[in-house]
A and B are shown apart, each in its own frame.
Chain A
Amino acid sequence: MKKTLALTAFLLGAALAGPANNSLVVGTSQEPPNIYDPWNTNNLAITSEINGYMGAGLTYQDDDGTTKADIATRVPTLGNGDYKVVKDSKGDVIRNSVTYTIRKDAKWSDGTPIKVADFQFWLKLENDDRVPVPDRDPWDRAKITVNDADTFTITFEPPYLFADQVSPGLAPSHIMSAAWNAFDAKTKNEKDAKVTNEEWKKFISSFTTARSLPKVVAGPFKPTAWRTGNSLTMTRNAAYWNQPKNPENYVQTVTYRFIPNTNTLKVNILSGQLDAVSAVGLTFDQGTDLARNERNKYKTYFVPGAVWEHIDINARGQRAKDLDLDDPRMRQALLYAIDRDALTKALFQGKQAVSNSWIGPVSKLYKKDVTDYNLNVAKAKQLFAALGWTPGSDGILQKGGKKLTLNFSTTAGNSTRERVQQILQAQWKAVGVQVNIQNYPASVIFGPDFLSKGESGKWDMAMYAWSNNPVFEEGNLWKSEGIPTAANGYSGQNNPGWNNAEYDKLYKQAKVEFNQADRIKLFDRMQAVWNSEVPSLPLYFRVNVYTKVPGLVNYTFSAITQYPSWNAANIGWASKGAVEEYKQK
């Protein structure tokens, strides 16, 4: 009877979602290539979000940035002795280590206890050259020492600044070892990397894809069905230890629906087909549009994020010298000439906060009292004049027969950025700077021959975004070693080519400063130096837009947690008895 009713309901078009059967249907615009790949060989946001439902770590951070224990019995701290920092005779930290004890009730979804071997297995593969892990920081300098059956120590040498906050991965060695050994035997003497890579794909795809779902998981939910191009369903994992009180009151099934077209995603929200939207889904404009049509069916949230929108100024090469882009005064003048407050009010209803640093307000390292560069046309003109740029007969600034004409590039097709460009172009024109918009596809902008090749004068100004986890901020975006050159294989992200000796010195000190209060002081100064020279024009921090229907509790995220799945075990419906612990800030 129940089955007949269910079939009748969906054949008539009614979604059987939400509190009715204690399930959750989430809409997203992306489908992950694979799920629960312990080595995270693709770095897509949607993969991280979905993995959050199925994964567990030794520790995790909540929305406020507080570290909590999950697989581990407690969080390692200097106070409880589980976090150790070793210094040499000069007082320099030479290594640090964290000790974890695995909870007795921590089990894989098949009931097998989680063991130290699972962490060792993960670390071994993480550092194996045949495994295409994008980057191995900090695990390439980590070593695991087994203390007893459930306790182990991870030592970082050289030391890792966030050793007490980062959790290593783990992989089910009892499930994967045999396949790994076969892969190892097959590829040990293989010279051709492409052959090895094909074998790796064979190995990993047998545990992470739609046709071979993960055999076991450690987190609150386990995958049960994945229909590619359509949906992925996960059901509550009874073997998970960190359950809320009365787990039956919380969501039992989570289904992700993959709707690549964001307008179609919007229609799904309006038609009540979705209980919530993923952090990877809606654009800002769609969010504002949805906010106007809520009618108590759902609520729209704008969550301050960690994605920093900015305009890099190319200070490298002869062209930059000719245009004075390598002079901080020129960059300051360009910043004083634009009205960022008005821009965010006009385009983002003031919901995206104007920034004056690359570090967001959510971070403990954020420095509030730096120069704010509010619109000041008189000051901008004064700075241009100080550099020798005077208005010509056509109103465009010129110096030595050269006009101040700048090329301004961003990712073509991004309508928000294109609108920002047009507003800024008009504002710069008002002070005598001619700006030519030259946009390229994202593959060109982020490809090997554009941003990193500033020396050749391919661009003057480039607008794009950086995404930084505020917890793990190192300040390495602006180190001079990070200027992409032929010598370093064009790696590093200091695309503007900013080279500041004081910043470099402070950055090196901060990198090994394990005392939080002292680090904050160093970052205060780093931000002051950066802000005085503005190698990049800071615009604003983007917000993440999502919707959820009323009554869905603990479906929240912040710039620190990034995805609502961080608290997967506690997501539920108030009408089913789920208790609200976290409210969306």
Chain B
Amino acid sequence: MGTYALRRVIQMIPLLLVISLLIFALTALQPGDPVDQLVFGNSNITPDDIARLKAAYGLDQPWFTRYFFWLKQAITGNFGYSQDFGIPALEFVFQSRLPNTLLLTVPALIISTLIAVPLGIFSAVRQYSPLDYILTFFAFLAVSAPVFWVGALALYFFAVYLPGATGGALSLPPGGLGSPDLPADASAWAVFADKLKYLLLPMMILMLREIAVTLRFMRANMLETLTQDYVRTARAKGLADRRVLYKHALRNAVTPIVTLLGLSIPGLFGGAVITETVFSWPGMGKAILDALVSKDFNVVMVCLMMLAVLTVVFQLLTDLAYAIVDPRIRYA
């Protein structure tokens, strides 16, 4: 197992290099660059100005030259400055955006898993019961409804309609990260309570979909497990239903959830672009999208490389976890 893990780690290095080259090339080969955005609409700009700006931003050189410059700097831990925010790209991502994203996505994933797994089991065990139909209907609805639409409805309901109907007694903030008028010397509890108020709506919308997906997945796994020979044998031996379910079937049914969760984790860091956009929640998803649109190369590279590293690392961890939960799997 140790040798296998080491081999996989060594294999990651060339893989990540190729990924970085591809990301850089694809970003650099998009039409337009940051200088075009400064130039366009300015009728006073001269060819000399354009040449000067292109040189200053290093855009007068071929993309692969720029890539090697970036790589050389990145190896030393210098990922450059964000063009759009004027601060080091690493600082922008890890201090300004990633904490916001994790605050939104991690609790959403944990809570939705805790809700969805039991519901999925229940739905499978009580297949074709009225509750199973209700849960299945909810799951399809939640998966099918576009996030931007559900988000907009929720915003209007909780921020406009509800306060109007209750004379302002009940309301949730219409997007954002926190109250701008929060006193600077507010207590930690007040800051947390304020943040929570702003977090509720986007988290609820994110959880709706997560619950629906995990619920369907869990239900399908459980149904498949319940038809296995060993479950039938356990029942034939006269074991109590509860014992058959929780002792024999559940462990095998939950195994694929490990894969699902393992592969979800890099996604947590990538943020939820539509949810973040609708609720003006400044997270990673929105940051990646904006950086790609405005050609903020350094931010694009930091974000996407971080996701690439997380993806390969968690793929490895998932594979290793499989060996732990499934005795049939052995790595050499």
- Taking the closest CB of chain A, its distance from the CB of B180, in whole angstroms, is 4
Residues B179 and A10 in contact, CB atoms below 8 Å apart: yes
Q: A6-B183, A33-B86 are in contact. Are A43 and B194 (CB under 8 A)?
A: no
Residues B181 and A211 in contact, CB atoms below 8 Å apart: no
Q: Can you list 7 contacts pairing A with B, beta carbon distance less than 8 Å?
A: A209-B86, A260-B280, A261-B278, A443-B30, A443-B295, A447-B31, A474-B43
Residues A446 and B57 in contact, CB atoms below 8 Å apart: no
Chain A's closest residue to B196 (CB) is: A11
Report Cα–Cα, A211/B92, bound state, in Å: 10
4 interchain residue pairs of minimum CB distance = A229-B282, A489-B47, A443-B32, A231-B180
Chain A's closest residue to B54 (CB) is: A193
- Taking the closest CB of chain A, its distance from the CB of B198, in whole angstroms, is 9
Report Cα–Cα, A21/B69, bound state, in Å: 52
Residues B38 and A43 in contact, CB atoms below 8 Å apart: yes
Residues A267 and B155 in contact, CB atoms below 8 Å apart: yes
- Taking the closest CB of chain B, its distance from the CB of A390, in whole angstroms, is 39
Give how many A-B residue pairs fall within 8 Å (CB-CB). Answer: 199
Q: Which chain A residues in 244-290 approach chain B with CB under 8 Å?
A: 255, 257-261, 263-264, 267-268, 270-271, 273
**One of B105-113, B120-128, B167-175 at the interface:** B167-175
Interface residues of B (CB under 8 A from A): 30-32, 36-47, 49-53, 55-58, 69, 80-87, 91, 96-97, 100, 152, 155-156, 159-160, 163, 168-186, 190, 193-194, 197, 277-282, 286, 293, 295
Chain B's closest residue to A482 (CB) is: B43
Besides A16-B181, A33-B82, A268-B175, 10 other A-B contacts (C-beta < 8 A): A13-B172, A13-B197, A25-B180, A34-B85, A135-B45, A193-B58, A205-B87, A229-B177, A267-B155, A267-B156
Report Cα–Cα, A202/B41, bound state, in Å: 28
Q: Which chain A residues in 461-483 approach chain B with CB under 8 Å?
A: 466-468, 474, 476-477, 482
Q: Is A197 an interface residue (CB 8 A)?
A: yes
Q: Is A378 an interface residue (CB 8 A)?
A: no
Report Cα–Cα, A362/B181, bound state, in Å: 38
Q: A225-B184, A259-B176, A444-B32 are in contact. Are A264 and B278 (CB under 8 A)?
A: yes
Residues B86 and A204 in contact, CB atoms below 8 Å apart: yes
Residues B100 and A13 in contact, CB atoms below 8 Å apart: no
Residues B86 and A208 in contact, CB atoms below 8 Å apart: yes
Residues B45 and A134 in contact, CB atoms below 8 Å apart: yes
Residues A193 and B56 in contact, CB atoms below 8 Å apart: yes
Chain A's closest residue to B184 (CB) is: A225
Contact with B along A490-503 (1 / 0, CB 8 A): 01110000000000
Instruction: Please name all residues of chain B whose beta carbon is closer than 8 Å to the beta carbon of A257 when the two chains form the complex.
Output: 176, 180
Residues B168 and A14 in contact, CB atoms below 8 Å apart: yes
Question: Which one of A132, A193, A211, A255 lies within 8 Å of B87 (CB-CB)?
Answer: A211
Chain A's closest residue to B40 (CB) is: A446
- Taking the closest CB of chain A, its distance from the CB of B173, in whole angstroms, is 7
Instruction: Please name all residues of chain A whose beta carbon is closer than 8 Å to the beta carbon of B183 when the two chains form the complex.
Output: 3, 6-7
Residues B45 and A271 in contact, CB atoms below 8 Å apart: no
Q: A197-B56, A201-B86, A230-B282 are in contact. Are A10 and B32 (CB under 8 A)?
A: no
Residues B174 and A134 in contact, CB atoms below 8 Å apart: no
Report Cα–Cα, A132/B37, bound state, in Å: 13
Residues A134 and B86 in contact, CB atoms below 8 Å apart: no
Residues B178 and A193 in contact, CB atoms below 8 Å apart: no
Q: Is A448 an interface residue (CB 8 A)?
A: yes
Instruction: Please name all residues of chain A whose beta carbon is closer than 8 Å to the beta carbon of B85 when the two chains form the complex.
Output: 33-34, 209-210, 228
Instruction: Please name all residues of chain A whose beta carbon is closer than 8 Å to the beta carbon of B97 when the two chains form the complex.
Output: 229
Q: Is A148 an interface residue (CB 8 A)?
A: no
Instruction: Please name all residues of chain B whose beta carbon is closer than 8 Å to the beta carbon of A468 when the two chains form the complex.
Output: 43
Instruction: Please name all residues of chain B whose beta carbon is closer than 8 Å to the beta carbon of A448 when the two chains form the complex.
Output: 31-32, 36
Residues B190 and A273 in contact, CB atoms below 8 Å apart: no
Report Cα–Cα, A273/B295, bound state, in Å: 33
Residues B181 and A271 in contact, CB atoms below 8 Å apart: no
Question: Which one of B173, B281, B282 lies within 8 Å of A273 (CB-CB)?
Answer: B173
Q: Which chain A residues in 355-382 approach chain B with CB under 8 Å?
A: none
Q: A205-B86, A209-B87, A261-B175 are in contact. Are A198 and B80 (CB under 8 A)?
A: yes
Residues B86 and A197 in contact, CB atoms below 8 Å apart: no
- Taking the closest CB of chain B, its distance from the CB of A50, in whole angstroms, is 14
Contact with B along A27-66 (1 / 0, CB 8 A): 0000001100000001100000000000000000000000
Instruction: Please name all residues of chain A whose beta carbon is closer than 8 Å to the beta carbon of B281 when the two chains form the complex.
Output: 229
Q: A204-B86, A263-B152 are in contact. Are A132 and B180 (CB under 8 A)?
A: no
Question: Which one of B47, B175, B182, B185 lies within 8 Å of A491 (CB-CB)?
Answer: B47
Instruction: Please name all residues of chain B whose beta carbon is closer than 8 Å to the beta carbon of A88 when the two chains form the complex.
Output: none
- Taking the closest CB of chain A, its distance from the CB of B93, in whole angstroms, is 12
Q: A17-B181, A205-B86, A260-B277 are in contact. Are A229 and B50 (CB under 8 A)?
A: no
- Taking the closest CB of chain A, its distance from the CB of B170, in whole angstroms, is 8
Chain A's closest residue to B51 (CB) is: A489
Q: Is A233 an interface residue (CB 8 A)?
A: yes
Instruction: Please name all residues of chain B whose beta carbon is closer than 8 Å to the beta carbon of A211 when the two chains form the complex.
Output: 87, 91
Report Cα–Cα, A423/B152, bound state, in Å: 30
Instruction: Please name all residues of chain B whose beta carbon is closer than 8 Å to the beta carbon of A16 when the two chains form the complex.
Output: 181
Report Cα–Cα, A270/B57, bound state, in Å: 42
Residues B44 and A488 in contact, CB atoms below 8 Å apart: no
Chain A's closest residue to B164 (CB) is: A271
- Taking the closest CB of chain B, its distance from the CB of A471, in whole angstroms, is 14
- Taking the closest CB of chain A, its distance from the CB of B246, in whole angstroms, is 42
Q: A132-B57, A134-B45, A205-B86 are in contact. Are A230 and B286 (CB under 8 A)?
A: no
Instruction: Please name all residues of chain B whose beta carbon is closer than 8 Å to the beta carbon of A273 when the two chains form the complex.
Output: 159, 173-174
Q: Is A136 an interface residue (CB 8 A)?
A: yes
Instruction: Please name all residues of chain B whose beta carbon is closer than 8 Å to the beta carbon of A394 when the two chains form the complex.
Output: none
Question: Which one of A208, A270, A441, A466 lies within 8 Å of B160 (CB-CB)?
Answer: A270
Q: A209-B85, A260-B286, A444-B32 are in contact. Are A132 and B53 (CB under 8 A)?
A: yes
Chain B's closest residue to A207 (CB) is: B86
Q: Is A227 an interface residue (CB 8 A)?
A: yes
Report Cα–Cα, A369/B245, bound state, in Å: 87
Instruction: Please name all residues of chain B whose beta carbon is closer than 8 Å to the beta carbon of A136 when the two chains form the complex.
Output: 49
Residues B31 and A264 in contact, CB atoms below 8 Å apart: no
Residues B53 and A134 in contact, CB atoms below 8 Å apart: yes
Which of the listed residues A200, A211, A264 has the most CB atoms from chain B within 10 Å of its own CB? A264
Report Cα–Cα, A259/B280, bound state, in Å: 5
Report Cα–Cα, A230/B81, bound state, in Å: 21
Report Cα–Cα, A261/B156, bound state, in Å: 14
- Taking the closest CB of chain B, its distance from the CB of A268, in whole angstroms, is 5
Report Cα–Cα, A197/B87, bound state, in Å: 13
Report Cα–Cα, A267/B190, bound state, in Å: 25
Report Cα–Cα, A136/B46, bound state, in Å: 9
